[in-house]
Amino acid sequence: MYSNYKATREALEKGTTNCEALVNHYLERIQHQKHLNAFLETYDAEALQKAREIDQKIKAGNAGKLAGMVIGLKDVICYKDHRLQAASKILDGFVSKFSATAVEKALAEDAIIIGRQNCDEFAMGSSNENSSFGPAVNPHGKNLVPGGSSGASAVAVAAGMCLVSLGSDTGGSVRQPAAFCGVVGTKPTYSRISRHGLIAYASSFDTIGILSNNTEDAALVLEVIAGKDEYDATVSQREVPNFSNIDSTQKKRKIGFSKESMESEGLHPEIKNSMENTIEMLKAAGHEVTQFDFPLSNYILPTYYILTTAEASTNLSRFDGVRYGYRTEQKVALEEMYKKSRSEGFGEEVKRRIMLGTFVLSASYYDAYFTQAQKVRTLIKNQTSSLLNNYDFIIMPTTPSPAFEIGKYGDDDLVDYYLADLFTVQANVTGIPAMSIPVGKSKDGLPIGIQIMTNSFEEEKMFAFAASMEKMLAATTVE
């Protein structure tokens, strides 16, 4: 089947295939690869009915921009009259009463939603092992994690179960699994896409992101789902550019990479080698690529975890077992019912982050942790902005290592587990756009990704550069 939307749309226009056939193909792929545990639920009858309607629109010549694009939704994005659980027991039986704005915009342009996808519970994790439905599995290995928290969304694209997935990115949750699974992961500027209908983890970090097979598809989807929304007071009011009109001219760019990222103790030798090869490739193409120092690099990850856990503590207080979702079966008084419902309904990682967040927000420690972290966040943001005034792009490895085995990290290895987000959190702390593109494979055949970051609201420039890199990499592979 077609690996990009351009070829899909051309085939639909020519009549060599139709939307119904596409949906059937993807449903068969999902069924055949159930062992990857990517989809929690598929909307077979509904998707097929939608496909038939769009086939008629294509014949009539009035189909939308995404006609025939089959999309999967991470289980944190609302879809009206469909179940939504954030891969958590606490939301057992919950049915969404409205659709996320991003979903509504995609549907308005004739996209087809095929199902909801597994993820780390409440988007908290870097491996998809924290799901109450069990881990999703990387298609590149029998027992490998796909990354997280949008791990299954990356699996679905990599394994051909849908053309595009919508995920969420709070600290790298789209880009990190994209790197592990060998696909493209795009996190736009914070506020570029409405967060209405996205279950909140950390509200000042959360962003809906896009997983795709290439840059062109990501650009088209962002063009459709971005923009103003009366239901989100934080969304940008800027006009949305025609992201899909990617500037294919090979402009010479000034690119920087940090000394700290290349000298990190946790950086896998093969990832470092891939990064060095990419730098040489860019230099050979005429770009100016230089190294810079980023003294605050050691503070980015701690700042991220202090602030996101604090916001999670507040956001997840609404899940109490009273109005919807899971409630303990034990007959206890009201306060005890709250405690037992939350203790039984939340997984271990979610409870850990809620408790840590509650601690840093407590009266005795608020100034020592939360207030200080906010100040450091401002410093990181200012230093990053200063760098991006001198460079068109910052590049770095997306992940410190290739995909690791399921079960590798236990409760005694949590620090090492959290380091999987080492290179991705900077874009979330600062709010800038970033994307991961595949640049090769390890000796074991595992995908490796490189991350591109640029100034806020400069996604057009980022897409053009990423597309040019894809062409260079393709040419290198052919040679």
Q: In Å, what is the CA distance from 125 to each residue of 25, 179, 223, 374?
A: 31, 15, 28, 22
List helix spans (H) across 175-232: 175-181, 215-225
Given 132, 149, 150, 468, the catalytic residue: 149
Handedness of CA 79, 435, 157, 475 (dihedral sign): positive
Given 50, 74, 105, 187, the catalytic residue: 74
Given 165, 173, 191, 297, the catalytic residue: 173
d(CA 211, CA 162): 10
Taken as a whole, the chain contains a residue count of 479
Q: In Å, what is the CA distance from 260 to each residue of 257, 270, 293, 389?
A: 9, 17, 7, 20
E strand or H helix that includes residue 372: helix 372-390
Mark whether 436 is an active-site residue.
no
128 near 135, Cβ under 8 Å?
yes
Q: What single-letter amino acid sits at 330?
A: Q
**E strands within 81-231?**
112-117, 164-169, 184-187, 207-212
d(CA 441, CA 289): 23
Handedness of CA 335, 341, 344, 345 (dihedral sign): negative
Mark whether 74 is an active-site residue.
yes
Q: Which residue has the tokens 């949305």?
A: 240
398 near 436, Cβ under 8 Å?
yes
Of the candidates 90, 171, 178, 77, the one whose C-alpha atom is nearest the C-alpha of residue 118 is 77
E strand or H helix that includes residue 276: helix 269-284
117 near 108, Cβ under 8 Å?
no
Q: How far apart are the first and last CA of the chain?
A: 25
d(CA 57, CA 43): 21
Mark whether 6 is an active-site residue.
no
d(CA 470, CA 458): 19
Strands 70-74 and 254-258: unpaired
The token pair that represents 255 in the structure block: 């690119």
324 near 91, Cβ under 8 Å?
yes
List, by residue number, the catalytic residues.
74, 149, 173
